[in-house]
Amino acid sequence: MIRVPPYARRISPAAALLLFCACGRTRPPLQTFNTVPDFSLTAETGAEFRFSRELAGKVWVADFIFTNCAGPCPRMSRQMSQIQSAVKGMSGVRLVSFTVDPARDTPEALAVYARRNGADPALWSFLTGPMSELHNLARNVFLLGSVTGELDHSTRFVLVDRQGRIRRYYDTTEAGVTEDIVADIGLLSKEPS
């Protein structure tokens, strides 16, 4: 029988922890990119959705989708649904999906899409409005480039803090993206208001 010295038993858990941490992904700290100004659009309920009323003081995740998308939008909405499930018990967290096809994505169409994706209206809103306003938000505020519908919209998620500052962009094709977002929501929730 091989005897393990007592000091070796004390080191093993620490070494295991270091090994575990070393094998994990290293993530850069959250940054600040831009500040979201007040905006007013129409929610899937048909009601006015104003940033200053609905999102101020909350941590939120944004994406740009359209309901007739056969490409990345269904995957992105499934990912948002996973995030919704993970943050359900957290206060002060919201999810917001902006359409890039307001001509077809009426509040009624967005409501059907929201139900189909299991959206909880208390957590996840779907917004439409004038194309010029949506284009301005995507390009000049969220810094995602232009949005022209089917062929040109970003597949990134955007994390916004309680002060309305954009803090991180996420590539929705990367493995573990929903877990990363939930972890970062937790970090932002601990920051002072």
pLDDT mean values, one per 10 residues, the chain (193 residues):
46 34 62 94 98 96 91 89 95 95 96 97 97 91 71 83 96 93 95 78
Q: What pTM was computed for the model?
A: 0.83
Name the residue among 100, 108, 184, 192 with its Cα closest to residue 150: 100
> What is the predicted pLDDT for the residue at 180?
97
> What is the predicted pLDDT for the residue at 22?
36
Structural domains in the chain?
30-190 (3.40.30.10)
> What is the predicted pLDDT for the residue at 14?
34
Chain centroid offset of residue 102 CA: 21
Phi, psi for residue 168 in degrees, rounded to 5: -165, 150
> What is the predicted pLDDT for the residue at 23?
43
Beta carbons of 191 and 161 less than 8 angstroms apart: yes
Each as own residue / partner, the long-range contacts of residues 21-27 (CB below 8 Å, 24 or more positions apart, any chain) are 25/176, 27/180
Name the residue among 119, 143, 148 with its Cα closest to residue 132: 148
